[in-house]
Amino acid sequence: MKNSFLFKPLQRKKTIKIMVGNIAVGGDAPVSVQTMTKTDTCDIKGTIKQIQSVASAGCDIIRVAVPDRRAAQAIKEIKKEITIPLVADIHFDYRLAISSLEAGADAIRINPGNIGSREKIKEVVKAAVEHKSVIRIGVNSGSLEKDIMEKHKGVEAEALVESALRHIQLMEDMNFKNIKISVKASDPLTTVQAYKLLSEKTRYPLHVGVTEAGTFLPGVIRSSVAIGVLLWHGIGDTIRVSLTDTPEREVRAGIEILRALGLRKDRGGSIISCPTCGRVQVDVISIAGKVEELLEKYYRENPKMPRPRVAVMGCVVNGPGEAKEADIALAGGKGKFALYVRGKLIKTVEEKQAINALMKEVGRWGK
C-alpha cells in the first residue's frame, strides 16, 4: 500500500535555477534549509559562532539582520569566517542593501512594502547586478503596501501574490531576473493558498515558510503543516522554519520536514522511537534523546559514513517486532535492553550500557 501512487508527492515544479553563493536554489537542486541569526550582527564574533553552529547542524543558507550601516559593514568580516552563503535582511533603507552587497552578501532580502520608491529599487538592482547577487522579494503579511491592503480589505492570499507580482514585474522591467520569491503569512492556510497561487503565475524559485510561526511546539506544527503541504504538491525550492527559539532548532525542524517527505537523506541518522506508556520499565525518553543527539554529532563529524535506520523501543509489546524492522535497535525490558542488528538479537545489555552498545554498532555499520 505504501508504494501506491496515492502516497507519492506530486512532481516538483521546475523553477529557474539561481545560485546563492555556492548553493543552487530551484531547478533540479535539492530543497535547501535556511535560518536567521538571533545575534546582533555587529557582534561579529558572536554572529560567526552562531553561523558556524547552524552550518554544523545542516543549515545551507544563513540570513542576518541589517538594521544599520554598522551591521552592513560587519558582513565583510563575517564572510571571511563562514562557509555557507549569507543573505542580508533589509527593511526601510535601500542604502543598507547596497552597502551589504558591497560588503560581500551573496543575496539580499527586501520587503516590497517598506523598501521605497521605484528609483530606490533601481539602485538596489544595479548593485545586485554589479556584485552578481540574488534578490529575494520577501512579501510579508505584516507589511503589505497600503493600496493592496485596501483593495483586498486585509491580508489575503491574493494580496500577498499581487504584491509579489508587482515587484517581479518591476525587476523584470529593469532586466533583472536573478530573484527568488516568498509570500509568507502567519496563518498556515493563507500561506499555502498564497504559494499555490504564486506558483501558477511564476517560474522563479520560491522560498517557503510561515512567518511569525510562534514558539517551538506550535511553530513547528504550523510550519510543518504549511511547508509539508506545499512540498508535497511540488512547490518550494528553499525553506525556513521561523521559531521563537534557537536557529539550531529551526534548522533541525526544517531538515526533519524534508526527511519526512523523503527529500533529504544526507543529514544525520534516522531514528524511530516509541511514545512510551505504563508498560515501560526503562527510561526511553532520555535514551532516545541522547541517541538522537549522538547520531547528529557522529554524522557531522563523519559525513560520508552510512546511515542505518536506528530504533529505540520501550517494551515487549511492539518493541521486538519494530526493532527487527530497523537496521540497529534497542528494545526495552525490565531495566535492560535487547540489542538487534539487521533484525537479529545480538545481546542483552544493562540500561546504563545501552547507548554505548548501540553507538558501537552504528560505528561498525557498513564496514
64: pLDDT confidence band, cut at 50, 70 and 90? very high
pTM of the full predicted structure?
0.87
Instruction: Please report the pLDDT score of residue 5 as a whole number.
Output: 47
Go through the domains of the chain in sequence order and give each one's CATH number: 10-260 (3.20.20.20), 270-364 (3.30.413.10)
For the chain, the average pLDDT equals 90
Residue range 315-328, pLDDT digits in tens: 766 666 766 778 99
Q: What is the mean pLDDT of residues 31-42?
A: 97
Per the listing, cell 511546539 goes with: 217
Instruction: Please report the pLDDT score of residue 1 as a whole number.
Output: 42
Q: What is the mean pLDDT of residues 106-131?
A: 90
Which of left, alpha, beta for 310 (phi over 0: left; psi -120 to 50: alpha)?
beta
310: pLDDT confidence band, cut at 50, 70 and 90? very high
Please, how many CA atoms are within 13 Å of residue 190, restricted to the half-sphere of its CB?
A: 18
Instruction: Please report the pLDDT score of residue 237 as a whole number.
Output: 98
343: pLDDT confidence band, cut at 50, 70 and 90? confident
Q: What is the mean pLDDT of residues 261-284?
A: 79
- Residues 313 and 332: beta-carbon distance below 8 Å: yes
Q: What is the mean pLDDT of residues 238-244?
A: 96
Does the pLDDT of residue 198 top 60, yes or no?
yes
- Residues 202 and 168: beta-carbon distance below 8 Å: yes
Instruction: Please report the pLDDT score of residue 232 as a whole number.
Output: 94
Q: What end-to-end distance do the CA atoms of the chain give, in Å?
A: 33
Q: Which SS3 state, helix, strand or coil, does residue 79 take?
A: helix
Does the pLDDT of residue 3 top 60, yes or no?
no
Range from 2-16, 64-78, 117-131 that averages highest in pLDDT? 64-78
> In the chain, pLDDT over 90 holds for what percent of residues?
66
The C-alpha torsion from 88 through 90 and 93 to 98, rounded to 10°, is 30
Instruction: Please report the pLDDT score of residue 145 as a whole number.
Output: 83
